[in-house]
Amino acid sequence: MSDFEDKSTLDSSKQQESKGFNLGGALGVSTGTEALEPVEKAENFGGTVIRLIKYLKPQFLQLLLMILLAAVGAWFLIWVPDIMKKVTNALVESLQFFVDISPTGNNRLYNYIAPVLWTCASLYVLNALFQFASGLIAASMSQRVVRRMRTDVKNKFDKVALAYFDATPTGEILSRVTNDIEMVSITLQESINQIISGVMTVIGVFIMMLRIDWLLSVIALVSLPILLIVSRFIIKRSQVEFARQQNRIGELNGHIEEMYTGHAVIKLYNREAESINTYEQINKELKKATRKSQFLAGIILPSIKFINNLAYVFICVIGGFRAGDGRITIGDIQALLQYTRNFAQPIEQVSNIANTIQTAMAAAERVFQVFDLDEMTSEINLLSNVAAIEGQVEIENLAFSYDKSKQLITNLSLHVNAGESIAIVGPTGAGKTTLVNLLMRFYDIDAGAIYIDGVNTSEYTRDALRSLYGMVLQDTWLFNGTVADNIAYGNEGASRDEIEVAAKKAYAHTFIEGMESGYDTMLNEDASNISQGQKQLLTIARAILKDPKIIILDEATSSVDTRTEKYIQSAMLAMMEGKTSFVIAHRLSTIKSAALILVMNHGDVVEQGNHDTLMKRKGFYYELYQSQFAGVTDANQNDEKAERSDFKQT
């Protein structure tokens, strides 16, 4: 039973509408984000690019070397047409004057052309080597950046309040850590090299064209702003679709993860068709966004080629007239045409990777939004020594709500002496689980204070505070590892003997010994190779081994059978002896054995006392008891007491 239902309205309040294209963001003006929102498009494209560049600062030397190699490699390629025009001019002259250029003919002309061709070939080889080297550096740099980004995201999630994880689907979180970061990696590795080479090529080609003929250079230059305008016009509209595509991928991952983990329940209630329909709907939206984005990206290249072909025509026509006037040579026209092609090629390359860049910027923005999440309060100069704590708990005028517009706990006060056992009962949504979450500072309270041994819990570090607690929840959690490792999870230094003693106290030793490798048996993912009841026994053994000062049991025996529960009750009573304990349970035996019962309703303690006292009052607890436990006869209760007595004797 969980009170997280009280937070159900959070999801809708967290989901905000897309704000449309951010012109200021496109110009590099950052607006900052305080909460994580689903990205419908890269709202701050320019700001995200700037932020990504700043993130590359630790790899500045690698980036500088990569830029240098890519630039030099581009210049090698740029020189080739200027050299090749000499061959063209020589061949034109030989044709005009019927000169034989073979080795047996005009050897002087052959000796002139051959070194030029070898020089061009050498420049092509150097260009390939420099581009290869810059590519290797780009790959190394991207992997370093992505590794650091994953580490930073993980560290950030460690500092984010639990409320974020409750309100955000697991698949959405995984998508940001895996898909989005991987998309950034691909872009850093493949796209930066092309962009740098492209910029160097445009600058170098324009300089070389000016050296040949200023008029034809201007004609080629005029095509550049037209290309940029057309590209920007299309890319601006494709931004929305690429970001929507990335967002739909996150939704799809979340749905698949949710359906897979709950596939047994889905089959039980025959909801396969509904699950498939939801999947198909999300997939259809993803298909639509992908189709639109790919269509917009696909029309960029044909548009650029059309403009380039027009520039080719003008250069050929006007260049022919100027060659006829003797102002330029045929070789100059050939070089200009080659330079015009080189001039447009970088823009074509950027257009080809436009979809990758757009998707990567949307992905990077989603990752940076994680970095912008609010963190838990700082723990500098807080107490960390809890060795002397006995376990007295006092709550004064506590107020808390998941949704600030809907108060859950308004004014709760409570005093629990060290070593007392407190049972917490109440209907669903009363605030029972919320109370124990506040005790462990999974959430920060809105008002009031919680004291342990007279010291405000906010004065302790979270790690120190949580080291006081041992917790057994209704939903078990075991990791992929041995049985012994899972039991020792809260006490890593425990010996094998201590682990076995804890397992015996939890009545888990017998079934563990019956497993193939005993305590060294590997539990697979989700511990699906043992039963739900056995999982619960292992988590109880884990809590026993930790030997905490304060124990929290949240429906701890809900997954075990009645006979096993009686053994567990005995183990838990022994574990709780002399320790402060908070027990959330509806089982009669657990509630009746508690020294104090807190009855919660609508976030407040409405009654408190032991079982007999509360029954005599005939208030809310009496009504709850009658509705839930009236079917248990006195004979049943006596049998339970007798059996517990027998277990203690054995």
β pairing state of 596-601 and 447-452: unpaired
Structure letter (DSSP) for residue 632: S
Q: Is residue 109 part of a domain?
A: yes
Q: What value, to the nearest 5°, has the Cα angle with vertex 53 and ends 368 and 151?
A: 45
In the 3-class helix/strand/coil scheme, how is 566-624 assigned residue by residue?
Answer: HHHHHHHHHHHCCCEEEEECCCHHHHHCCCEEEEEECCEEEEEECHHHHHHHCCHHHHH
Reported as a pLDDT band with limits 50, 70 and 90, residue 630 is low
Q: Is residue 378 part of a domain?
A: no
pLDDT in tens, 117-142: 888 889 889 989 998 998 888 888 88
Tell me the mean pLDDT in the region 373-398: 83
If one compares 354 and 397, the residue with the highest pLDDT of the two is 397
pLDDT at 139 (0 to 100): 85
Kindly report which listed range (301-315, 317-331, 631-645) carries the lowest average pLDDT score.
631-645
| Residue 336 CB-half CA count within 13 A | 31
Q: Is residue 458 part of a domain?
A: no
pLDDT at 645 (0 to 100): 39
Is the pLDDT score of 99 beyond 70?
A: no
pLDDT in tens, 383-394: 888 888 888 889
Tell me the mean pLDDT in the region 90-109: 58
CA distance 638 to 156: 54
Kindly report which listed range (58-67, 420-429, 583-592) carries the lowest average pLDDT score.
583-592
Closest CA to 485 of 545, 411, 424: 545
Query: Highest-confidence range of 209-218, 346-355, 562-571, by mean pLDDT?
Result: 209-218
Angle between helices 181-212 and 107-159 (to 10 degrees): 150
pLDDT at 451 (0 to 100): 92
Q: Which residue has the tokens 């019927």?
A: 98
CA distance 431 to 409: 7
pLDDT at 450 (0 to 100): 92
pLDDT at 109 (0 to 100): 62
Question: How many structural domains does the chain have?
Answer: 1
Query: Highest-confidence range of 12-21, 211-220, 313-322, 508-517, by mean pLDDT?
Result: 508-517
Is the pLDDT score of 495 beyond 80?
A: yes
Reported as a pLDDT band with limits 50, 70 and 90, residue 33 is very low
Tell me the mean pLDDT in the region 403-423: 82
If one compares 113 and 647, the residue with the highest pLDDT of the two is 113
Write down the pTM of the prediction.
Answer: 0.59
- The token pair at 39 is 């990205």
- The token pair at 67 is 């830029």
Kindly report which listed range (85-89, 206-210, 235-239) carries the lowest average pLDDT score.
235-239
If one compares 214 and 112, the residue with the highest pLDDT of the two is 214
Reported as a pLDDT band with limits 50, 70 and 90, residue 43 is low
If one compares 23 and 559, the residue with the highest pLDDT of the two is 559
If one compares 577 and 287, the residue with the highest pLDDT of the two is 287
Reported as a pLDDT band with limits 50, 70 and 90, residue 449 is very high
- Chain mean pLDDT for the chain: 77
Is the pLDDT score of 18 beyond 50?
A: no
CATH code of the domain covering residue 256: 1.20.1560.10
Q: Is residue 13 part of a domain?
A: no
Per DSSP, the three-state class of 375 is strand
Reported as a pLDDT band with limits 50, 70 and 90, residue 569 is confident
pLDDT at 101 (0 to 100): 52
Is the pLDDT score of 448 beyond 60?
A: yes
309 burial (CB, 10 Å; 0-12 / 13-18 / 19+) is: exposed
Structure letter (DSSP) for residue 179: I
Q: Is residue 489 part of a domain?
A: no
Give me the domain span that covers residue 295.
42-371
pLDDT at 129 (0 to 100): 93
Beta bridge mates, 450: 395
Percent of the chain topping pLDDT 90: 2
β pairing state of 447-452 and 522-523: unpaired
Q: Is residue 479 part of a domain?
A: no
Tell me the mean pLDDT in the region 370-390: 82
Tell me the mean pLDDT in the region 399-409: 81
Kindly report which listed range (444-448, 467-471, 565-569, 644-648) carries the lowest average pLDDT score.
644-648
Percent of the chain topping pLDDT 70: 83
Q: What value, to the nearest 5°, has the Cα angle with vertex 465 and ends 464 and 467?
A: 65
Beta carbons within 8 Å of 142's beta carbon, 6+ residues apart: 185, 186, 188, 189
pLDDT in tens, 53-72: 888 888 888 888 888 888 88
Q: Is residue 591 part of a domain?
A: no
CA distance 412 to 410: 6
Structure letter (DSSP) for residue 460: B
Structure letter (DSSP) for residue 178: I
Reported as a pLDDT band with limits 50, 70 and 90, residue 419 is confident
Is the pLDDT score of 399 beyond 70?
A: yes
pLDDT at 475 (0 to 100): 75
Q: Is residue 217 part of a domain?
A: yes
